Amino acid sequence: MSKRKPTPPWYAEHLLLWFLKEELVEEVLGDLDEKFYHTLDKSSRLKAKLNYWYQVVHYIRPFAMKKYRSNSTSFIMFQNYFKIGYRNLFKNKFTSFINVGGLAIGMSVAMLVSLWVKDELSYNKTHKNYDRLAQVMFHSNWGGTKVSTTGIVTTGLGTLLKNSYASYFEKVALVRARLEERIFTYKDDHFIENGYYMQPDGPEMFSLKMVSGSANGLKEMRSVLLSQSLAKKIFGDTDPVNQVVKFNEQTDVQVTGVYEDLPGNSKFHDAAYFAPIDLFIHGWSHLNVWDNYNMFVFVQLRDGVDFNQASTLIKDIMKPYIQEVRQHDLFLHPMSKWHLFSEFKDGKQVTSDRITFVWFYGAVGIFVLLLACVNFMNLSTARSENRAKEIGVRKSMGSARIQLFNQFLSESILVAVLAFTLSLLFVSLILSWFNSLAGKNMIMPWSEPFFWLGGLGFTLMTGLLAGSYPAIYLSSFNPVKSLKGTFRSGKNASLPRKVLVVFQFTVSIALIIGTLIVYQQIQHVKDRPVGYLRDGLLMLPKRSSELWGKHDLIRNELVKTGAVEEIGVANYPLTNTLGNNDGFSWEGNNPSEYHSFNTVLVNHDYGKTIGWELLQGRDFSRDNKSDLAGVVITESARQIMEIDNPIGISLHYEYGMNGIHDFTILGVVNDLIKGDPFKSSVPAIMFLSERDLLWMFIRIKEGYPQNEALAKIDNVFKTLTPSAYVDFKVLDEEYSAKFSSEERIGKLATFFAVLAVIISCLGLFGLALFLTEKRSKEIGIRKVLGASIIGIWRLLTQDFVGLVMISSVIAIPVAYFFLDRWISNYDYQMDISWWVFGVTCMGALLIAILTVSYQAIKSAMANPVNSLRSE
């Protein structure tokens, strides 16, 4: 017996029968059967079946498909609603454009904001052990009320946790407490990169995804793990593993692994490499130090141990190892809190700036979306009077109120879906621009079901929200009145509309004021005196050994070029406030108060080079040998010491500097702003050093063109130190970079404010358009009776002016309240000037008048015959 005769696939046939027109069934099924057996003769059964499917799918063409008709009345009604809605949309193209466009902009903003918020909330989540990782931090009590919190600890603590608490912590890793900048040299190419030094367990704890090599690659002291992008930069297409690079032009290290770049929302994302901590401490320190706070310690909890339990356990473990009076209370700070909950004050966690911004932008997003919804409601209610007759007809034909309710809801959902599609398009177009604005690396989550679920749910919500008011309001019309044409929406009808306009303008005005104040604050801080001359000042870290010990030679040569005024050195740059020490005492100081000063070693020429401003006393002098036991302090240090004339006063330094413990104050200079320019200045004490120091400062002669000077300086270094990598930093640029996050806030605020204003104006414009159309007959009659264009313009605009004025009155105190709080976050703050409020309100008024005037003047200029002719 032969096998059972194969038949065409049953599912495919059913699919075909489902969509195919009745009258085509016979011929098509016949043709396809014939094709099937024909193919079966020539090739396999599988091919024949597949081909059948192929043929069926290719019958999905308009000519062959059933016209879908349902007999269900509610279906037909819905079809009708969509049809009417669609026709309405196209009948009033302009108002529809405002409606859909406005809603789309609102949705885009909401979408961008939610992407941003999602990014903020997803920090560090890519690390596999997210739930088990924590940083060891401590509150330290200085006696009295002052409690400070930090995560910078000693190497000894890390070693202690690792050796004695292994039953709680699966892994412990010490990480150098800041990014270290290193020069990588490979075949004469130099690369300056930032990275972290960490213990060998680190890479596995943070689940680095290895592209090649091993995550275990930090065991050897002279090894390094590179990020994929850095490996590519250095080695190109060569296999990086086991290659040797020169580290800081001194040490050869071997590349033991390459890891996938960490995403921008990881704590370690700005590290291009990880190197062993042993390499960092080699030759000057060890892993059991208890008096140098320079490390982070990260721990990975064992299963079954929770953060609180472990926190309590380790609270006092530092006590036996330190002699200081202050008390350290250790605790674990879980990874999930690192990004948004890492600000502490007086030993307690406080609301961080970041979480404030998450709230702030979230609120702005919701507000802008609300504005857009408000527009939609506003226009729909306004236009409703034109549709009064339609509602009358529907009601007398027997429409129940619930049906009308459904109709308007389905209409607004139609618009919302349209707007959603537009906003998807818009957002995907501007996302890369927004990324650069927000300093993020967000992508459209096209493939995430959550995004679609959220997006569509949100569209439906918006549609319902925007449509609910007209749905309730319009369906309540009295059919007899609306058919007779006597339907008038009374005073009550315009009240909610006015409230909505007021609400929009309030938000817009508040946002504009906010933007202006943010920029003013930034400008205010930019204009802050920094205590030295930024222009024409260069800074150069002497990373290459070749640059050391040649100070006088370099100085002479540089001055010889004629481009350089002076050069000085210090052990810290002018762009951070590293190097803080306590242990100072002076006559009359209160020992119970804790003071820490920024201590900097400088040479004789430093002050002259950076151009600090002496307020009292004198600079260090070469003529005075005893100046080695002298210090120059800053104004804020003098204020802390509470001495009016500190020159000649002696200062005792517990730990000593260059073996000297007692110093004399030689001079007082203006505060040097080296750290965050928004914060109050850090009090500093400058010591004299005769040694060569790490940071070289070069003062270009005044008026000398910077580019030429740079070329000449570069030339000198090329001649004197040919193989050293010389990396100038222009002070002015470094300083400007300190404003990036505030400028980002400013730009984002501008972006949102502009959108809010656009949406408000669109709304106002649409409303004006409607109201003037409504009054076109009245305007015609007025003109016939001799009204002037100005008179009619005034008549049409005065309503709106009043509304905007009310908005101003509401917006000013609201904006003031929030901005005052924002500004008080900064130590160096400006006074909020009242003219900003005035100017903004005037501006809003002007914009409103302009928006309305276009329509008002157009209808005032129209020929009255046109509006009066038709009846």
Instruction: Return the residue of 31, 181, 189, 778 that touches another protein, per CB under 8 A.
Output: 31
Q: In angstroms, give the least distance from the CB of 56 to another protein.
A: 8
Nearest to 407 by CA among 4, 84, 97: 84
Taking the mean position of all CA atoms in its chain, how far away is CA 666? 46
Instruction: Return the residue of 58, 93, 187, 491 that touches another protein, per CB under 8 A.
Output: 58
171 to each of 137, 263, 311, 344, how far by Cα in Å?
16, 23, 16, 26
Instruction: Tell me how far apart the alpha carbons of residues 729 and 543 are, in angstroms, rounded to a whole number.
Output: 13
Instruction: Return the residue of 34, 252, 346, 587 that touches another protein, per CB under 8 A.
Output: 34
**By rule CB under 8 A, what count of residues binds another protein?**
20
Ranges assigned E (strand) in 376-471: none
Residue 37 near another protein by CB under 8 A: yes
364 in Cβ contact with 511 (< 8 Å): yes
Pick the closer one to another protein by CB: 40 or 471. Answer: 40
Query: What b/e readout covers 238-258, taking b as 16+ CB neighbours within 10 angstroms?
Result: eebbebebebbbeeebebbbb
Q: In angstroms, give the least distance from the CB of 47 to another protein.
A: 13
Residue 22 near another protein by CB under 8 A: no
Stretch that binds another protein, among 31-39, 159-167, 720-728, 827-835 (CB under 8 A): 31-39
Stretch that binds another protein, among 35-43, 298-306, 373-381, 437-445 (CB under 8 A): 35-43
145 in Cβ contact with 346 (< 8 Å): yes
Pick the closer one to another protein by CB: 34 or 324. Answer: 34
Q: In angstroms, give the least distance from the CB of 2 to another protein.
A: 16
Task: Output DSSP code: residue 627.
Answer: G
Structure tokens at 582: 């306590």
Task: Output DSSP code: residue 626.
Answer: G
Pick the closer one to another protein by CB: 56 or 103. Answer: 56
User: At residue 683, what is the residue type?
Assistant: P
145 to each of 323, 346, 347, 407, 592, how far by Cα in Å?
20, 8, 10, 65, 11
Q: In angstroms, give the least distance from the CB of 21 to another protein.
A: 11
Pick the closer one to another protein by CB: 63 or 835. Answer: 63
Q: In angstroms, give the least distance from the CB of 48 to another protein.
A: 13
Neighbour-count burial of 446, counting CB atoms closer than 10 A to its CB (0-12 exposed, 13-18 middle, 19+ buried)? exposed
Residue 493 near another protein by CB under 8 A: no
127 in Cβ contact with 335 (< 8 Å): yes
Q: What is the dihedral of CA 153, 154, 160, 165, to 10 degrees?
A: 10
Pick the closer one to another protein by CB: 22 or 733. Answer: 22
Pick the closer one to another protein by CB: 52 or 735. Answer: 52
Residue 50 near another protein by CB under 8 A: no
Instruction: Return the residue of 2, 3, 27, 447 that touches another protein, per CB under 8 A.
Output: 27
Residue 54 near another protein by CB under 8 A: yes
Instruction: Return the residue of 29, 305, 710, 810 that touches another protein, per CB under 8 A.
Output: 29
Residue 68 near another protein by CB under 8 A: no
Stretch that binds another protein, among 50-58, 342-350, 530-538, 768-776 (CB under 8 A): 50-58
Looking only at the bridges linking them, the beta strands covering 729-730 and 343-345 are unpaired
Neighbour-count burial of 322, counting CB atoms closer than 10 A to its CB (0-12 exposed, 13-18 middle, 19+ buried)? middle
770 in Cβ contact with 379 (< 8 Å): yes
Residue 66 near another protein by CB under 8 A: no
Instruction: Tell me how far apart the alpha carbons of residues 600 and 614 are, in angstroms, rounded to a whole number.
Output: 17
Pick the closer one to another protein by CB: 12 or 89. Answer: 12
Nearest to 295 by CA among 364, 375, 197, 202: 197
Residue 28 near another protein by CB under 8 A: yes
Task: Please compute Rg for the chain using Cα positions.
Answer: 37
- Please report, in angstroms and rounded to a whole number, the separation of the first and last CA atoms in the chain: 88
Residue 10 near another protein by CB under 8 A: no
Pick the closer one to another protein by CB: 54 or 433. Answer: 54
Pick the closer one to another protein by CB: 58 or 93. Answer: 58
Pick the closer one to another protein by CB: 43 or 580. Answer: 43
Residue 857 near another protein by CB under 8 A: no
Stretch that binds another protein, among 20-28, 93-101, 293-301, 861-869 (CB under 8 A): 20-28
Instruction: Return the residue of 64, 313, 472, 559 that touches another protein, per CB under 8 A.
Output: 64
37 to each of 6, 11, 16, 60, 447, how far by Cα in Å?
9, 17, 18, 22, 41
Pick the closer one to another protein by CB: 34 or 346. Answer: 34
Instruction: Tell me how far apart the alpha carbons of residues 259 and 226 are, in angstroms, rounded to a whole number.
Output: 6
- The length of the chain is 871
Stretch that binds another protein, among 53-61, 198-206, 548-556, 670-678 (CB under 8 A): 53-61
Residue 26 near another protein by CB under 8 A: yes
Find residue 254's DSSP bridge partners.
223, 244
Stretch that binds another protein, among 57-65, 530-538, 552-560, 825-833 (CB under 8 A): 57-65
Structure tokens at 738: 């300190």
Pick the closer one to another protein by CB: 28 or 279. Answer: 28
Residue 17 near another protein by CB under 8 A: no
Residue 19 near another protein by CB under 8 A: no
805 to 824, contacts with another protein by CB under 8 A? none
Residue 48 near another protein by CB under 8 A: no
Taking the mean position of all CA atoms in its chain, how far away is CA 493? 42
Residue 155 near another protein by CB under 8 A: no
Residue with token string 């079946």: 49
Q: In angstroms, give the least distance from the CB of 62 to another protein.
A: 8
Say whether 215 sits in a helix, a strand or coil.
coil
Instruction: Return the residue of 10, 63, 284, 450 that touches another protein, per CB under 8 A.
Output: 63
Nearest to 122 by CA among 130, 133, 134: 130
Binding site for another protein (CB under 8 A): 26-35, 37-38, 54-55, 58-61, 63-64
